[in-house]
Amino acid sequence: MAYKTCIYQGEFTSDGLDKIIPVMAGVDWVEVVNLTNTVATTQWAGTEWYWQRGMGAGDAVVNYHATGSSLVSTSTCVIGFNGVAYRGIYPLDSSEQSVGALDTTVTAVSNDAPPVVTCTSTAGLNAGDIVRMINITGAQQLGGMDFTIGNETFNATHFSLDYMDGIVAGTTGSFRKIDYDPLFYPRHRYIAHVDGGMNDAPITFTVKHNFKIGERVRFIVPQAYGMSELDGLEGTVTYVSDPANTTFNYITTDIKTATFSYFGWPLSAVAPFSPAMVIPVGEDPVDRENKQKDASATENTGYIGFKLGTSATAGIALGSAGGTTGDVIKWRAGKSFDI
């Protein structure tokens, strides 16, 4: 009988964001070593994490420097140390598309651009996560919409709805965390903003887009948004914003929009209405540099694997498996018998 047979291994340099690692057959155990923290001996810095099936998602046994030396202490991510709980290792199966628990603690949505949501606690959320807004008093136009959060504003009780236009302020309501993306690539995206009065207008989305230059897309823009001339038109993507840039999230197309009416978000009283969106039509362009065609519009991008969590809060990231920006991290994972 094989014991703890390693079937996967790898390394990466942390960018300060959660690291998703797809593998072919899932994992029963994961080990992670942060080489940067091990050598630096920074107080409270995690050095090693171990997770096996049966432990909770996000937990791990973690070794860390309890003092600014090479001495190592042990805890778990859930119990934590230095008065803080940390983010460990999460098993993933993208086909299990369940939404997060309903959080009913929203007390305000500001009229800023982007709007800032006030809630009782942002525990369990991180910058770059996606949430679905639900039944916001005075801001019903946000209902059922998914938003990337926290890259503009994030703290213990606030998160921004990144890329979103300003609206009339809302009050109480709810949200759910969305831990998945639709399985099939490319995905449709809800429109957050369209720049008016110019050709090749940048189209901004409510969550990070995944469109590529050369892809054909179709626009759905209900009358409630104003720019009805765009509704039903098809165009070719001519530019995409840098996916690593958390400030911008847009594409341009070859549709000439300079004479179109202006795009604007409907008021709360107009709800319910169909959202404005961009949907893919046809296949992706040929990747001429690599002399192959990219994924078609019907490719199933489902995966199984695991996620190494981190946080926008430096004190939490220090003891989390995903590390802080610049950390060199090695990992290995495998399948094993359950005895």
Q: What is the pLDDT of residues 162-216, one digit of tens each?
A: 999 999 999 999 999 987 776 665 678 999 999 887 888 899 999 988 888 888 8
Per-residue pLDDT at 282: 65
Per-residue pLDDT at 292: 45
Per-residue pLDDT at 288: 45
Distance, CA of 275 to CA of 259 (rounded, Å)? 22
Tell me whether the omega of the peptide bond preceding residue 115 falls within 30 degrees of 0, making it cis: no
Q: Two tokens at 113?
A: 């651009």
How many angstroms separate the Cα of 158 from the Cα of each of 127, 161, 212?
Answer: 11, 10, 32
Per-residue pLDDT at 277: 93
Going by C-beta distance under 8 Å and a sequence separation of 6 or more, which residues neighbour residue 245? none
pLDDT higher for 301 or 285? 301
pLDDT tens by residue, 136-171: 999 999 999 999 999 899 999 999 999 999 999 999
Going by C-beta distance under 8 Å and a sequence separation of 6 or more, which residues neighbour residue 319? 44, 45, 46, 62, 64, 77, 80, 81, 82, 84, 86
Domains of the chain and any CATH numbers: 6-94+303-334 (no CATH), 103-178 (2.40.30.180), 184-299 (2.40.30.180)
Per-residue pLDDT at 24: 79
pLDDT higher for 312 or 300? 312
pLDDT tens by residue, 8-28: 999 999 998 889 998 877 889
Which one, of 277, 285, 263, 275, lies nearest residue 218 by Cα?
Answer: 277
Per-residue pLDDT at 183: 66
Per-residue pLDDT at 298: 59
The rounded Cα 18 to chain-centroid distance in angstroms is 9
Look at the block and give the residue holding tokens 């628990």. 101
Asked whether the predicted pLDDT for residue 290 surpasses 50, the reply is no
Asked whether the predicted pLDDT for residue 239 surpasses 70, the reply is yes
Which one, of 333, 330, 338, lies nearest residue 305 by Cα?
Answer: 333
Per-residue pLDDT at 99: 77
Going by C-beta distance under 8 Å and a sequence separation of 6 or more, which residues neighbour residue 107? 118, 119, 120, 171, 172
Distance, CA of 308 to CA of 90 (rounded, Å)? 7
Residues 81 and 61: beta-carbon distance below 8 Å: no
Of all residues in the chain, what percent carry a pLDDT higher than 90? 60
Of all residues in the chain, what percent carry a pLDDT higher than 70? 90
State the SS3 of the chain: CCCCCEEEEEEEECCCCCEEEEECCCCCEEEEEEHHHHHHCCCCCEEEEEEEECECCCCCEEEECCCCCCCCEEEECCCCECCECCCCEEEEECCCCCCCCCEEEEEEECCCCCCEEEECCCCCCCCCCEEEEECCCCCHHHCCCEEEEEEEEECCCEEEECCCCCCCCECCEEEEEECCCCCEECCCEEEEEECCCCCCCCEEECCCCCCCCCCEEEEECCHHHCCHHHCCCEEEEEEECCCCCCCCCEEEECCCCCCCCCCCCCCHHHCCCCCCEEEECCCCCEECCCCEECCCCCEECCCEEEEECCCCCHHHHCCCCCCCCCCEEEEEEECCCCC
| Mean pLDDT of the chain, nearest integer | 87
Per-residue pLDDT at 1: 41
Look at the block and give the residue holding tokens 């994961």. 30
pTM over 0.85: no
Asked whether the predicted pLDDT for residue 338 surpasses 80, the reply is no
Going by C-beta distance under 8 Å and a sequence separation of 6 or more, which residues neighbour residue 332? 6, 8, 9, 10, 30, 31
